[in-house]
Amino acid sequence: MATTRLISMHQNKGKSIADCLANRTDYAKNPDKTNDGEYISSYECDPKTVQGEFLLYKRIYSDITGREQVNNVIAYQIRQSFKPGEITPELANQVGYELGMRFTKGNHAFFDVKEIMVVSYFLGWLIAIV
């Protein structure tokens, strides 16, 4: 059984939202840990341009609603960890995508990354726009 954790991702002091999103998404998309991107899936965004798309979505939301974000949360990460041998990378990717759809109800873009860890754990990164 996977352990799952919801993590608020905050803007770092002295860095722009764009830089913070880029740091986190680039780390998650590491080709050495994702079998050259094979274990990356997404909904309503392209993993290659996810940082720009997330920034655009935040701007569109602000323009439509007139509301500005009052905290420094830039995205959410749902981290899933599986025991070695418990699940294949392909199935872990499918489980992560399904979780993303349930969590966002199909209303927000996200990308799902399964990282192959040194000890054979599969770690799910799911970043959904706030």
Task: Encode the chain (130 residues) as per-residue pLDDT tens digits.
Answer: 778 888 888 999 999 989 998 998 888 888 888 888 888 888 998 988 988 988 888 888 889 999 887 788 888 888 888 877 888 888 888 888 898 899 889 888 888 887 776 554 555 555 655 4
CATH of the domain at 42: 3.30.930.30
Report how many domains make up the chain.
Answer: 1
Q: Which of 70, 94, 74 is nearest to 82 (CA)?
A: 94
Residue range(s) defining the domain that contains residue 75:
3-129
**Tell me, what's the pLDDT at 69?**
78
Write down the pTM of the prediction: 0.79
**Tell me, what's the pLDDT at 79?**
84
